[in-house]
Amino acid sequence: MIISIIGAGNMARGIGTRVLSGGHSLRFHDRNPGKAEELAASLSEAMSGADVQASDAEGAAAADVVVLALPYPAGREVAASLGAALSGKVVVDISNPVDFSTFDSLVVPPGTSAAEEIAAAVPDAHVVKAFNTTFAGPLASGEVAGRPLDVFIAGDDDAARETVAAVVTSAGLRPLDVGPLRRARELEAFQFLHMASQERLGLGWSSGIALLP
């Protein structure tokens, strides 16, 4: 598949590394084209033979799967600006809408989620929540405590969830399909707790949420 990632930060690098290890083609897009080019060059060098390039917005929207690797609400704004270009596309929201000023709550109101707000902004896209509980660090290897990372997947379109699950599996991770997009509320809530507890629990942003066994 051709996967595009919008954004060129740590999460873009982590997910991009996994996607390339799964044999997919990868396009990075960033509002700062230099950052996307730099990240593409870095991964191309690290993974010989990988098909990874920077792309303009149009090229990114033309991919099979479009990953919004941006903070919320920037991801929602970018999705809305792409608009019709995302019709029928699988759009992956990875965001955690944490109120970083207090680190004590989310910036989306109770009873919804960043994923649902993004879906409302691009109603003709198939929005899937995934990768919001995986930190960038463990994504580099795809493992935590010797186990493939668990990737929770929620979305209202069955085929879109299955597509994302296939990408996740090919990337050496474990997909956990938890059903409708509104389950993103619980995924965002728990990852907020996970993030808010890092210092208290001495975890160092290298931990992973898992369902055992």
Minimum distance from CB of 189 to its own copies (Å)? 4
Minimum distance from CB of 145 to its own copies (Å)? 4
Minimum distance from CB of 143 to its own copies (Å)? 9
- How far is 206 from 166, CA to CA, in rounded Å? 24
Of 173, 169, 164, the C-alpha closest to 127 is 164
Minimum distance from CB of 204 to its own copies (Å)? 10
- How far is 14 from 42, CA to CA, in rounded Å? 12
DSSP 183: G
Please give the single-letter amino acid code of residue 59. Answer: G
Virtual torsion, Cα 103, 106, 107, 113, nearest 10 deg = 160
Minimum distance from CB of 116 to its own copies (Å)? 13
- How far is 24 from 16, CA to CA, in rounded Å? 10
DSSP 97: -
**β-strand pairing of 52-54 with 126-129:** unpaired
What's the N-to-C CA distance of the chain in angstroms?
30
Minimum distance from CB of 129 to its own copies (Å)? 11
Structure-token pair, residue 121: 């902004």
At 125, is the secondary structure helix, strand, or coil? coil
Binding site residues, its own copies, CB under 8 A: 104, 109-111, 144-145, 147, 176-179, 182-183, 185-187, 189-190, 192-194, 196-197, 200-201, 203, 206-213
